[in-house]
Amino acid sequence: VGIVALPLAMAFAIAGGLTPQAGLWTAIVGGFLISFFGGSSVQIGGPAGAFIVVVYGIVERYGLSGLLLSTGAAGCLLFLMGWLRLGSLVRYVPVSIVIGFTNGIAVLVALSQIKDFLGLNVPNMPADFWGILQTLGQNLGAFNPWALGMASAGVLVLLVWQAGGRRMVHAPSPWVRGVASMPGSIVVLVLATALTAWCGLPLETIGSRFGGIPSNLPSWVWPEFSWASAQALVMPTLTLALLGAIESLLCARVADGMIGDRHNPNQELMAQGVANFVTPFFGGMPATGTIARTVTNVKSGGRTPVAGIVHALALLLVVWVAAPLANHIPLATLAAILMFVAWNMGEWHAFKDLKQFRMPYRITLLAVFLLTVMVDLTVAVEFGLIAACITFIYRISSLSRIEQLSEKDTDKLAHQSGQISAYRAYGALFFGAVKLIEDIENILPQKALVLDLKNLIYIDSSGADALLALGRLCHKKQVRLIVCGLNHQPLDIARRTGFLDLIGQNALPDYDSGLDAALLSEKR
C-alpha cells in the first residue's frame, strides 16, 4: 500500500499547486491518523484526486495559508458531523449527484495534467475550465516532444501492465504472481526516473521545479488566521468537508463489501476530522479515504488498522532514505499516472446507461457533470441537491392521492349524495400534497365527512395544519368530521398537534365503523 501511495501522493500535491512533500506528509500524517482513529478496519487515508481541483483553486485565490486554514476548518466540520452522528446522512446523497460530480472531477484532473503531459512551459495555470482551455490553446505549439513521448509511453505501460496483471495474477509461478501484483504506477515511475537520469533527457523533473524533496521532518506550520480570510473561505471549506465525507464513506462502503464487515460512519468522520485538522500544521493538504489504496490493502490481505499505520511508517522511511532519488522523477510521468487515475476514477458507463432512467435522473447527472467541469464544484453540488430535492418532492406528491368513495365502493353510501362524503388517502400528506386536503374543503357535505387514513404512512407539520384547518371548517359549518385508521407516525403527530383533541370521539379504528357513525349522525 505504501508503494502505491508514494507516486500518487506526490502527483496529487503537484497537480494541486503544492510541493510533492505536501502530498507525502499528508499521506504519512493523515494516513496514520485515519487508520488509528477510523471507523473502518481497512480504509487507507491520504491525498485524493477528488481534491485536486478544489485545492488548486484555493491555492490560486487565497494562497497556501488559505488552503491550510480551509483544511483545518473542514477538519473541524468533519469531526462535528461525526460527533453529531450525521455520518448516515451522507448516504442520502443521490447517486446521480455522486456520479456526475466524480466524472466531472475526473475530467478536470485529466485536463489539469495536459500541461505537464505535453511539457508546456506555463508558470501559472488558471483554475477554471475556460481559462485552462485558453492557456493550453495559446501554448500548444511549444510542446516538448520528449515529455509527450515519455508521458505517452507511461500511459501505454500502465494500460499493458493492468491488462497483463489481471491474467498473470492466477499464474502457477509465485514469482510471476509477485511481479503481477506490483503496482503499474511504481513500475512506470522507476523506469522513467532511471531513463531520465541515465540518458540526461531534457525533461522537467521534481528536482528542477521544486529543488527535490527534503529528507528531514517538516517544520511546524502555523496557519495565518483572520476573520476576513475565514469568511472568504466558507464555501471552499464546506466543499472540502462535504467532498471528504462523501469520498471517505463511499470508500468505506466499498471496503465493507469486499471484506464482509460494516464500518462506523460517525467514527470514520471524526477520524477524517482529526486528520484534516492536524495535517495543515505539517504543511499538508486535505486527506480522505482513497479507494485505490484501500482496495490494494484488502487485496494484499490487510484486515486491521495496523496495515494503514504501517503504510504511513513505510512512507516515512522512504522519505528519510530515498528522498534524493526523487529529484530525477519526470513530471511528465506523474502526469501520465494522474491521467490513468482520472480515467479509472470516472464511471463512464453511467453516460451509456442514461437511457434506462427517467428524465429527472438524466438532467441531474448531466447538469452536475457539466457544472463541475465548466463552472464550479460548489455550484454543481448545490444545484444537484436542489434538483434532487425538487424531483423527490414531485415524485412523492404525485404518488400521494385522495380518492372519493362512492356507491360503487360500498352500498352504505347509497342515497347519501350530498349528505355524507367519504375519502380514502394514500401515500404521504406533506407540504407538497396539502392541496389534496384543501380540495375537500370546497365540496363539504351537509352532514358528515369521513376520512380513511389507514393507507397514509406519513404526515408532516404542513399536513397536520391542513387537517386542523379542515377540522375547524367542519366545526364551523356543523359537519361531523370522522377520521379512521390513524396508525404509527400519523397517529403520533395527530396527537401532538391537537388534531385528536379537536375531533374528540370521532377518531375511529377503521373505515366501516367510521361510516356507520356517519350514517347514524345523518339519521339524527
Ranked by mean pLDDT, the top range of 83-97, 148-162, 403-417 is 148-162
Q: Using one digit for the tens of pLDDT, what is the confidence trace for 159-194?
A: 988 877 666 656 666 766 666 667 788 889 899 999
pLDDT of residue 414 exceeding 60: no
CA angle in degrees (0–180, nearest 5) for 172-173-179: 120
Q: Using one digit for the tens of pLDDT, what is the confidence trace for 253-287?
A: 878 888 888 899 999 999 999 999 999 999 899 99
Q: Using one digit for the tens of pLDDT, what is the confidence trace for 352-389?
A: 888 888 888 899 999 999 998 888 777 887 888 888 88
pLDDT at residue number 232 = 83
Q: Cell numbers for 185, please give them.
A: 504506477
The whole-number average pLDDT for the span 93-98 is: 82
Q: Hey, which residues does 448 pair with through a beta bridge?
A: 420, 480
pLDDT of residue 118 exceeding 70: yes
Distance CA 519, CA 270 (A): 61
The whole-number average pLDDT for the span 94-106 is: 85
pLDDT at residue number 204 = 92
Q: What is the 3-state secondary structure (H, E, C) of 68-119?
A: HHHHHHHHHHHHHHHHCCCHHHHHHCCHHHHHHHHHHHHHHHHHHCHHHHHC
How much is the mean pLDDT over the chain?
86
Max Cα distance, the chain (Å): 106
pLDDT at residue number 168 = 64
Q: Cell numbers for 244, please give them.
A: 471528504
pLDDT of residue 335 exceeding 70: yes
The whole-number average pLDDT for the span 131-136 is: 89
Question: Residue 459's CB: how many other CB atoms inside 10 A?
Answer: 25
Distance CA 496, CA 351 (A): 47
pLDDT at residue number 217 = 74
Measured over the CA atoms of residue 104, residue 109, residue 110 and residue 111, the dihedral's sign is positive
Q: Cell numbers for 60, please give them.
A: 490560486
Q: Using one digit for the tens of pLDDT, what is the confidence trace for 28-50?
A: 999 999 999 999 999 999 998 88
Answer with the residue of higher pLDDT: 353 or 300.
353
pLDDT of residue 408 exceeding 60: no
Tell me the pairing of strands 288-289 and 45-46: antiparallel
| 125 touches 112 (CB < 8 A) | yes
The whole-number average pLDDT for the span 112-136 is: 87
| 48 touches 60 (CB < 8 A) | no
pLDDT of residue 223 exceeding 60: yes
Q: Using one digit for the tens of pLDDT, what is the confidence trace for 489-513?
A: 999 999 999 999 998 888 888 888 8
Q: Using one digit for the tens of pLDDT, what is the confidence trace for 429-456?
A: 998 888 989 888 888 888 889 899 999 9
Residue 27 pLDDT level (bands cut at 50, 70, 90): very high
Distance CA 294, CA 250 (A): 11
pLDDT at residue number 246 = 86
Q: What do you get for the CA distance between the two ends of the chain, in Å?
A: 82
Q: Using one digit for the tens of pLDDT, what is the confidence trace for 205-221?
A: 998 888 878 877 777 77
